[in-house]
Chain A
Amino acid sequence: MTRRTFQRAFTLGEMLISMAGSTVVVGALLLSSMQLQRSLHASEMYAINQASQRRLLDCLSRDLRRSVGVATTTTIGGSGGIPLSSAVATIENGVSLVLTLPGYYQSNIPGAANYDQPLSVVEANNYVDYGTGAQHAPGVPVVYRKQFIESEGCVCFVRIEADVPTIVVENADNMHLNVTMAADGKSAVAEVTYLSPRMNSQALIGMHDQVLLRNIRTD
C-alpha cells in the first residue's frame, strides 16, 4: 500500500483568484496612498499659504495701524505716491503701497547702536511729538511691493523700510494683496488671497483685516 502524497501547489484557479484579489488590494492600496499623499501635500501647501497669508496681513496691518500716510506709487523708490482714499489698490504689476510711519527711532540704519532707541519728545507749534531739537521727526516711508527677488529665485512680497528690504512672503506668484481705503481715509481693509492648492480647484482663499488708522493722516 502506497501512501498518498498531499498536493502543496495552488491550482490554476486558485492562482488566478488570488492574483486578481492581490491586484485589487495592492491597487487600492497604491491608489489610496497616492490620494492620501496628494491630500496631505495639499494640506501642507494650504498650511504654508495660510501662514504666509497671515504673516503678510499681520505685518501690513501693524504698519497701517500706525501710519500717518497711505499712498500708492509705481516708482521703484516709492516716491511720488498718490494718497489712497476711497479706492482699492492692488499691490502687484509694479504698483507699490507706500505707508508713512511717524518718525520714532533715532536711526533707521540696521545695526546702528541707536537703531532701537526712541527719539525725545519735543514741542513745536503747540504740538508735542517725537523729534530732535525743536523739529518733529519726519515720517519714515515703508514700501510694500510684489517683485522677483533674484537671491530667492522667486516672486516675493517685500517690505522696504527706509530703503532696507525685508522679505515677508516667498513664492508669492499665486498670492494677491488688495488694500481698500474707506471714504473718510481713516480705516482700511487689507485682503490677501491665493488660489487653493487643491488640484483642479479654482477656489480663492481669502483672509482680510479691517484696520482703524490710529494716527491722523498727514497726507
Chain B
Amino acid sequence: MRTAVSRCRASALIITLSSLAILAIAAAYTLRRVSPRFQMASQAAAWQEARLAAESGIDVAMADLTQNAVGTSAPTWPGWQQEKNGIIGPVVDDTLGLVNSLLSLLLGNSVQVSSPVVVSPPIFLDNMQIASPGNRPTNVDVQLWALYPTTSPYYRWYRLRAMATCALPPTTASIYDNLESVVRRYSLRSVRPQLRKDDVGTPMSVPTPNSSRVVEVLVEPVLPFELAILTNQSLSLATNGSWNVDSYDSRDPSKSGPGGSYPGRGSPLIQSNGNIANNAGRPASSLYGSLISANGCAVLGGVATNGGDDPSTPTHENVAGATQINADSIRDDFFRAMKPMGRPTTGIFLPPPPTGIAFTPQGESSPAQYLVTGNLNSFSVAPWAGQGTGAVTVMVNGDLDVPTGTISVPSNVIVCIYVRGNIDFHNRPINQGGLAAQLQIYGEETNGSTRTLSAFGQASICAAFYGPEYDVQLSDQVEWFGAVAAQSFQMLGGGTGGFHYDEALGTVGNPIGFRIARYVEDVRE
C-alpha cells in the first residue's frame, strides 16, 4: 500500500534557519563593530605597561647608582655596557672602584661639552626583560650619562633615559580610532625611526605591533650636609638657656658676617634654613608621639620626622617641646637613608707628619692622603701654594682626640678626615675662623660597636660631621657652626651656645644617595 508524502513538512526548518541567520548576521555585524573597541582596551593596557616598564628601568639605574654611591662594599654594575672605539663591552672591570672611578672611566678623553654642563658618553643597559602583568614581551633600554655642572669632580648629576617597548596583541593590524593613535603612537608594522636612537646595543626583540614609551629623568645627588642636623635614631636639642638652631650662608656677604663667618645671634643677616630631621619611626603599637625633643629651643628652619604626627589633631605630636618652632614648618613625611661613607681605597697613603709639623696639601683633584694607624690629636695643615684649592685626606684608624690645642685649616685648603674610632673635641675650639666646608669629618662603619662624637664646656666647633653610626653628645654651652648627620644627637645643657648651619654645605661632600630632580616623558619621539 502506498502512502502519500506531504511536501509541506520542511517549512518549520526553513523558518528556524532563516531566523537564526538573521540573528547571526545582526550579531556578527555588531560584534564586528564592537570588538575593535574592546581590543583598544588591550592596546591601552600595553601602552600603560610600557610606561611602567620604562620607570622600572629608571628604578634599576637609580638602585645601581645608590648602591655604588657610598659605602665600602665592592661596586656592582651588572649588565651595564658601554661603547668604546666602536666596541660594546662591560662597563666595569676588576680595577673599578667606587662611582668616582666609574666616572673617570666614563669621562675618559671624550667628554662632550654640549652646554656649560659637561656630559659624559653614555653607558647603558641593553634589552632588559621586564615581567609585565599581562605577560607581554617587554624590553627596556636604559642610558646613563654623568653630568658635571661645576668643575668639582664630586658634584655630579645624572641623566637617565629609559625606553620600554611592550608588545600589542598580535591581531592588532590597525588602530580603529584616529584619536587613539594620536595619543598612543603605536608601532604597527615597523618601529618608528625616531625611536631607534634609544634602542641602544642589540636591537630589541619585541615584535611589532608594539608600543614604546620613553621616560627621562635628571638625577641630583643627595649630599651629606644638606640639613643642619640629621639623625637615624634620636634627636634631642638643648635643655636650657638660649641655645638655638639657625643658619647663615658663608658664600653670601648679605647672609653672613666678615669672611663668611656666622653673623652673630640676633643679626638681621641670620637665615632660617637650619632644618633638622630624624629618620626614626614610631613603634606599630604607638604610631603617634614624639620623635624629636625640641625642649623649647628655637629652630629657625624646618623640623621633620618619619611619622608620629596624628593627622586628626591640630597639634604636632611628633615634636615635643615645640613652643618656639613655627607649627607650619613641622612635618612628618621625612626619611633619608644614610650609610657610612667609605674611606678612599686607592692612591698613595702617606704616614702622618711628626708632631708639631703641619700636614701638606695637594691639589683638590688628587688630595694628599695620610694614613694614621693610631690616634690623631690636634694638628694643623700648611697653606696650599698651588692654584685653586688644596686638599688633604686623613684616614684615622684610632680615635680623633683633641684634649689640647686645636685643628687649624688654612683658608685655601679642604680637609676630609675619615675616623674609625671615637671623636672627642673636649672643650677646644676647632677650625676657628675657618669655614665648615673646610673641615669635613666622616665617621666610618662601626660594625656594631658604639662610637661617639663628644664635646663640652665652651667648645666652638666649625665643621661638618657625617657619621650615621655615631652618637653625637654635646653638653654645657657647645656652639657648632656647620652640620651634623649622625645616629643620634643630644645636647645636654645649652646656655648661650647654639647650632648654626652654614648653607654653603648644601653642595659639599660625596653623595650619600640620589633623587629624581626632573621627570619628563618624551612624547614626541
Do A and B interact with each other, yes or no? yes
Instruction: Assess whether A37 is in contact with B147, with CB atoms less than 8 Å apart.
Output: no
| Residue B22 CB within 8 A of the other chain | yes
Query: Interface 1/0s, chain A 13-35, versus B by CB < 8 A?
Result: 00000000010010001001100
Beta-carbon contact of A121 and B524 below 8 Å: no
A36-B26, A104-B522 known; A129 vs B218 contact (CB < 8 Å): yes
**Contact between B30 and A40, CB atoms less than 8 A apart:** yes
Question: Is A208 at the interface (CB under 8 A from chain B)?
Answer: no
A176: interface (CB < 8 Å): no
Which of B26, B27, B180, B518 has a CB less than 8 Å from the CB of A130? B518
User: Are A55 and B521 neighbours in the complex by a CB distance under 8 Å?
Assistant: no
- Among the stretches A59-67, A78-86, A188-196, A197-205, the one at the interface with B is A59-67
Q: Is the CB of A37 within 8 A of B26?
A: yes
Interface pair B117/A40, CB less than 8 Å apart: no
Contact B27 A44 (CB under 8 A): no
Q: Are A50 and B523 in contact (CB under 8 A)?
A: no
Interface window among B36-44, B71-79, B99-107: B36-44
Instruction: Say if the beta carbon of B190 comes within 8 Å of chain A.
Output: no
Q: Out of B44, B183, B521, which one reaches A66, CB within 8 Å?
A: B521
A161 to chain B minimum Cβ distance, whole angstroms, is: 10
Point out the residues of chain A lying under 8 angstroms from B19, CB to CB: 25, 29
CA–CA, A105 to B522, complex, Å?
A: 9
State whether A170 and B218 are in contact (beta carbons under 8 Å apart), knowing that A47-B34, A62-B523, A123-B117 are contacts in the complex: no
Query: Which of B34, B41, B48 is within 8 Å of A44, CB to CB?
Result: B34
Instruction: Tell me if A167 counts as interface (CB < 8 A to partner B).
Output: yes
With both chains docked as a complex, state the minimum distance between the C-beta of B164 and any C-beta of chain A, in angstroms: 14
Nearest to B521 among chain A residues (CB) is A66
In the assembled complex, A48 has its CB within 8 A of some CB on chain B:
yes
Cβ of B44 and Cβ of A128 under 8 Å apart? no
A residues in contact with B147, CB < 8 Å: 121, 128
Contact A170 B179, CB 8 Å, known A62-B523, A121-B218: yes
Chain B contacts of A127 at CB under 8 A?
220, 517
Chain B's closest residue to A54 (CB) is B44
Report chain B residues within 8 Å CB of A43: 30, 34
- Asked if A174 is an interface residue, CB under 8 A from chain B, the answer is no
Known: A44-B33, A51-B40, A214-B516. A121 touches B115 (CB 8 A): yes
- C-alpha gap A15/B30 in the complex (Å): 37
A126 at the interface (CB under 8 A from B): yes
Q: What 1/0 flags go to A101-132 for Cβ under 8 Å of B?
A: 01011000000000110101111001111100
Most buried by A among B22, B119, B180, B183: B183
Q: Does A215 contact B (CB under 8 A)?
A: yes
- B30 and A37 contacting across the interface, CB-CB below 8 Å: yes
A128 to B217, CA, bound (A): 11
Known contacts A58-B44, A166-B182; is A33 also within 8 Å of B23 by CB? yes
Pick from A44, A55, A115, A126: contact of B183, CB under 8 Å: A55
Bound together, the chains give a CA A169 to CA B178 distance in angstroms of: 11
B243 within 8 A of A: no
Chain A residue nearest in CB terms to B18 = A29
Which residue of chain B lies nearest to A49 when distances are taken between CB atoms in the complex? B37
User: For chain B, which range describes its interface: under 10, 10 to 19, 20 to 34, or 35 or more residues?
Assistant: 35 or more
B residues less than 8 Å from A50 (CB atoms) = 37, 41
Is the pair B218, A40 in contact by a Cβ cutoff of 8 Å? Answer: no
CA distance A62 to B52 in the complex (A): 12
Q: Which residues of the other chain, B, contact A29 by a CB distance below 8 angstroms?
A: 19, 22-23
In the complex, which of the residues A62, A65, A116, A120 contacts B194, with contact meaning CB atoms closer than 8 Å? A116
Task: Kindly state the separation between the CA atoms of A217 and B302 in the bound complex, as whole angstroms.
Answer: 19
Bound form: Cα–Cα A151–B19 in Å: 43
Per-residue 0/1 for B103-132: is the Cβ within 8 Å of any A Cβ (1 yes, 0 no)?
Answer: 000000000001111010000000000000
Chain B nearest Cβ from A62, distance in angstroms: 6
Contact residues in A for B159 (Cβ distance below 8 Å): 121
Hey, which chain A residues are within 8 Å of B47, CB to CB?
A: 58
Measured in the bound complex, the distance between the Cα atoms of B47 and A48 in whole Å is 18
Q: Please, how many angstroms separate the alpha-carbon atoms of A121 and B156 in the complex?
A: 13
Report Cα–Cα, A121/B47, bound state, in Å. 28
Pick the residue among A40, A54, A168 that contacts B41 (CB under 8 A).
Answer: A54
Knowing A29-B19, A122-B115, the reply to whether A47 touches B26 (Cβ < 8 A) is: no
A33-B26, A51-B37, A51-B40 known; A169 and B520 CB under 8 Å?
no
Q: Is the CB of B177 within 8 A of A65?
A: no
Are B522's CB and A118's CB within 8 A? yes
CB within 8 Å for A122 and B116 given contacts A40-B34, A54-B41 = yes
* Across-interface contacts of A184 in B (CB, < 8 A): 333
Partner of B179, one of A33, A47, A169: A169
Closest to B157 in A: A128
Chain A residues, Cβ within 8 Å of B516: 214
Can you name the residue of chain B whose Cβ is closest to the Cβ of A170?
A: B179
A128–B183 touching, CB < 8 Å: no
Are B30's CB and A115's CB within 8 A? no
B252 at the interface (CB under 8 A from A): no
- Is A154 in the interface zone, CB < 8 Å from B? no
Residues of B394-448 at the interface with A, using a CB-CB cut-off of 8 Å, are none
Name the CB-closest residue of B to A67: B519
Whether B520 pairs with A102 at a CB distance below 8 angstroms is yes
Check B40–A40 contact: CB distance below 8 A.
no
Contact call A66/B520, Cβ cutoff below 8 A: yes
18 contacts between A and B (CB under 8 A): A25-B15, A33-B22, A33-B26, A40-B31, A41-B30, A50-B41, A52-B179, A55-B177, A58-B184, A105-B524, A115-B524, A116-B194, A121-B115, A121-B147, A128-B147, A129-B517, A168-B179, A184-B333
List residues of A whose CB falls within 8 A of some B CB. Answer: 6, 22, 25, 29, 32-33, 36-37, 40-41, 43-44, 47-48, 50-52, 54-55, 58-59, 62, 65-66, 102, 104-105, 115-116, 118, 120-123, 126-130, 134, 166-170, 184, 214-215
* Extra contacts besides A36-B27, A40-B34, A54-B44 (19): CB < 8 Å: A25-B15, A33-B22, A44-B37, A47-B34, A47-B40, A51-B180, A58-B48, A62-B51, A102-B520, A116-B522, A121-B114, A121-B115, A121-B218, A126-B507, A128-B218, A130-B218, A134-B116, A167-B179, A168-B183
4 A-B pairs with the lowest CB-CB distances in the bound complex, closest first:
A47-B37, A40-B30, A214-B519, A123-B149
